[in-house]
Amino acid sequence: MTLVQMHRPASANLTHRTVSEVMDAAGPQVCDDMSVEVALSVMTAARTGRLVVCDQDGQCAGLVTQTELTAVRDSSAYTDRVRLRDILRDHGSFTSPVTTASEAEQAMRFLRLGAVPVVDEQGSALGVLALSR
C-alpha cells in the first residue's frame, strides 16, 4: 500500500507525512472544452497517462486517463463533439496538500480511485496523488 509518487525509503511512515510531501507534479493541465482526440494527442506528446482538467476559470475540474479517453473514443456513441467536460467522472474527488498521506490513501482506496488531483484553497491544481497498482 504505497503511493506511486513517493520517493522515500520504504521504512518512512505515511502517518505524519502530508500529501504535499508525496504528490507528483500536476503535469499537463488542459481546459475542459478540449476534444477527446486533442487530449489524447496531448497525452502522447507529454508521454503521460493522465491529464488534469481545468474549467474556464482555471479551477481543477478533475482528471482524465488515457484508458478512459480511449474507451470513449472507441465507443459507438463517440463523435468529435465530445468534450472532456462531458466525460469527467468523480468531479468532487480532490485532496488537500495538508491532508496526511495515509488519510488520502485510505480515502482513495475506499472510493476506488487510482489518482486524485491535489488542489489549493482556490481550487487550482498543485499536483496529483496516485496509488500504486
Cα–Cα distances (Å) from 2 to 19, 54, 96, 102, 130, in that order, read 13, 27, 18, 9, 9
Establish if 99 belongs to a structural domain.
Answer: yes
CATH of the domain at 42: 3.10.580.10
Establish if 14 belongs to a structural domain.
Answer: no
pTM of the model: 0.81
What digits encode the pLDDT tens for the residues 61-101? 999 999 999 999 999 999 999 999 999 876 668 999 999 99
Establish if 4 belongs to a structural domain.
Answer: no
Backbone angles phi and psi of 9, in degrees to 5: -65, 150
The mean-pLDDT minimum among 47-51, 90-94, 111-115 falls in: 90-94
Q: What does DSSP say about strands 29-31 and 50-54: parallel, antiparallel, or unpaired? A: parallel
Domain that holds residue 86: 19-130
Secondary structure in 3-state letters for the chain: CCECCCCCCCCCCCCCCEHHHHCEECCCEEECCCEHHHHHHHHHHHCCCEEEEECCCCCEEEEEEHHHHHHHHHCCCCCCCCEHHHHCCCCCCCECCCCEHHHHHHHHHHHCCCEEEEECCCCCEEEEEEECC
How does residue 119 score in pLDDT terms, banded at 50, 70 and 90? Answer: very high
Establish if 7 belongs to a structural domain.
Answer: no
Establish if 13 belongs to a structural domain.
Answer: no
Establish if 37 belongs to a structural domain.
Answer: yes
Mean pLDDT value of segment 22-36: 93
Q: Which of 73, 75, 21 is nearest to 43 (CA)?
A: 73
Number of domains into which the chain is organized: 1
Establish if 107 belongs to a structural domain.
Answer: yes
pLDDT of res. 79: 94
Establish if 12 belongs to a structural domain.
Answer: no
C-alpha cell at 34: 478540449
How does residue 105 score in pLDDT terms, banded at 50, 70 and 90? Answer: very high
